[in-house]
Structure 1
Amino acid sequence: MRILITGASGTIGRFLSRHLASEGHHVTALGRTPPDGAALDFARFDLFGAPPRLPDADALVHCAFNHVPGKFRGGEGDDPDRFRTLNVAGTGALFRAAKDTGCRKVVFLSSRAVYGDARRGETLRETDDPQPDSLYGEVKLDGERSLEALCDGQFCGVALRVTGVYGMPPGLTTHKWTGLFEGFRSGAETEPRCGSEVHGEDLAAAVSLVLRTAKHGFEVFNVSDLLLDRRDLLTLVSECSGLAGALPARAASRPGVMDTSKLRRLGWQPGGRDKLKAFVDACNAAT
């Protein structure tokens, strides 16, 4: 399959492009500069520029997003209107260009933020009414709706509502918890937090799966694996390293948990606690 991918040099895009290329797909990275260290074809593209002219392809995977570096929620910085305009208009133009070019399938990396944070401790299902309470969540939901509006019998779209993503991104030497782990080993105090996570490799497997199985229309899938309290994560770090750092208290509340049974019925099998432990072991061995 000929697959275009935006955001290939980002954390998620690195996992996806490597996985799809390893399966034998012809992957072309779309962006302003070629992704470093990745043996991918490249086509110049600016999500926030003029309506794009895309290379011929069978499918598009859209990961790119304009935000303050290191932030998603709250990533609009001091100009929320520009944040909304760039991401909503740019994403809509990209989806239209993909359809006009002849792409048959589009996978959009959406977010659990479309559900909002009000339903703490509840189960979140794809059939629930989205109620985003952040600009980030609103923009992601707008992206879903712009894709859905284009879908028909010849053009299908999939929105993956993704939770937090962990793991060592291919080509990089740091990860989302690098600072957390280093602070814990040095004895720094850690703020309590509980979140949901999925390994980047398991997210990539989900993208590959829906690219193979999507046939027509528009579908939404939740993508999440673990509900993870920082106390449990750092306990695992302590056990792997033999260091007795100061563990944080358990978080006072738990986020809503996304039901992933719809994706699992297609055959998706994330790595769970075993994969988390293997990752922590690898991080410890590298220190």
Structure 2
Amino acid sequence: MKIALTGGTGLVGRFLADAARAAGHEVTLLSRNPAPGGLRYDLAGEVPDLAGYDALIHAAFQHAPGRYRGGEGTDPAGFLAANRDGSLRLFAAARKAGVGRALFLSTRAVYGRHPAGTVLIEDTPLRPDTLYGQMKADVEQGLAALSSPDFSTASLRATGVYGPGADHKWITLFNDFRAGRPIAPRVATEVHGDDLAAAALLLLNAPAQALAPHAFNVSDLTLDLHDLLAEVAQLTGCAAPLPPRADAAQVSAMDCTRLRALGWRPGGWPLLRASLPAMLD
């Protein structure tokens, strides 16, 4: 399969790029500063010619440095123009070019606030309470509206994505813990980047009718920092105090039955433990 991928050099996109190539697909990266063989693309700019591609995976996201929620910084209009309008322009161009399938990297933030402990299924009402979540919800809905027999679409509502990499999400956390700095209690849902990529590949290859619901939750662990840092302490010999446990009952878990029905099996704790040494180097 010939795949066009935006955001393929980013924190999450690199997992998608590596997995697609490992599966034997031909991957072209669309980016601001493309490597040889890539295509120049900016969310705020013109869409390159996508004729001849079988699929598009859109994982690019323009935001203030280091921020997702709150990523609009001081320019909400520019944030929406790039991420909402630019994404919909990209998908419309892909459909016009004859691309057969499009996937969008969305987020659990589209659900917004629900009562503590609510199990989030894809049919749970969307109540985004950030501009980031609202933008993602708008793109989801716009993409679904573009779907047709010749252009099947799906959005992956991913929770927090972890995994090895020079800029992985827990670098500051691990450094603070090993330095003995206090860590606030927290529990949250997480998924490994490899598992997210596996979900994307499943959706690329699934029958078109399987994508008709258009949205798929992607989540694995409900992870307390106490337990995560206990693993770090065991690996490193760090004797710093662990944070107290957080109240897991306050977390709304994501139900992934829809994705599991297609054969998705995330790695759980074994994959987390196997990944930690590389994340601690």
**TM range, normalised to the smaller chain?**
over 0.9
- 1:184 aligned to which of 165, 177, 183: 177
**How far 1:193 sits from its partner (Å)?**
1.4
Distance verdict in 2 for CA 1:230–1:187, change over 3 Å: same
Matched with 2:41 is 45
Matching residue's letter, 2:28: T
Task: Output the CA distance in 2 between the equivalents of 1:79 and 1:282.
Answer: 36
Q: CA deviation digits over 1:122-160, x for unaligned, max 9?
A: 100011111111111000001101101111111110100
Task: Output the CA distance in 2 between the equivalents of 1:259 and 1:50.
Answer: 37
1:20 aligns with 2:20: yes
2:168–2:279 contact (8 Å) kept in structure 1: no
1:108–1:144 contact (8 Å) kept in structure 2: yes
Matching residue's letter, 2:114: A
2:162–2:169 contact (8 Å) kept in structure 1: yes
Q: In the TM superposition, what are the counterparts of 1:1-287 in structure 2 within 5 Å?
A: 1-34=1-34, 41-169=37-165, 173-216=166-209, 217=212, 219-252=214-247, 254-284=250-280, 286=281
Distance verdict in 2 for CA 1:51–1:2, change over 3 Å: closer
Give the TM-score, by structure 1 length.
0.92
**How far 1:55 sits from its partner (Å)?**
4.5
Which blocks of at least 5 consecutive residues in structure 2 are unaligned? none
Matching residue's letter, 2:191: V
RMSD between aligned residues: 1.5
**How far 1:283 sits from its partner (Å)?**
3.4
**How far 1:207 sits from its partner (Å)?**
0.4
**SS of alignment partner, residue 102 of structure 2:** strand
Task: Output the CA distance in 2 between the equivalents of 1:151 and 1:227.
Answer: 33
Task: Output the CA distance in 2 between the equivalents of 1:283 and 1:164.
Answer: 16
The count of corresponding residues between Structure 1 and Structure 2 is 278
Task: Output the CA distance in 2 between the equivalents of 1:11 and 1:174.
Answer: 7
**SS of alignment partner, residue 11 of structure 1:** coil
Task: Output the CA distance in 2 between the equivalents of 1:136 and 1:150.
Answer: 21
Moved more, 95-104 or 252-261: 252-261
Which blocks of at least 5 consecutive residues in structure 1 are unaligned? none
Percentage of identical aligned residues: 46
2:41–2:47 contact (8 Å) kept in structure 1: no
Task: Output the CA distance in 2 between the equivalents of 1:32 and 1:4.
Answer: 14
Task: Output the CA distance in 1 between the equivalents of 2:167 and 2:70.
Answer: 22
Distance verdict in 2 for CA 1:31–1:218, change over 3 Å: farther
Distance verdict in 2 for CA 1:51–1:243, change over 3 Å: closer
**SS of alignment partner, residue 124 of structure 1:** coil
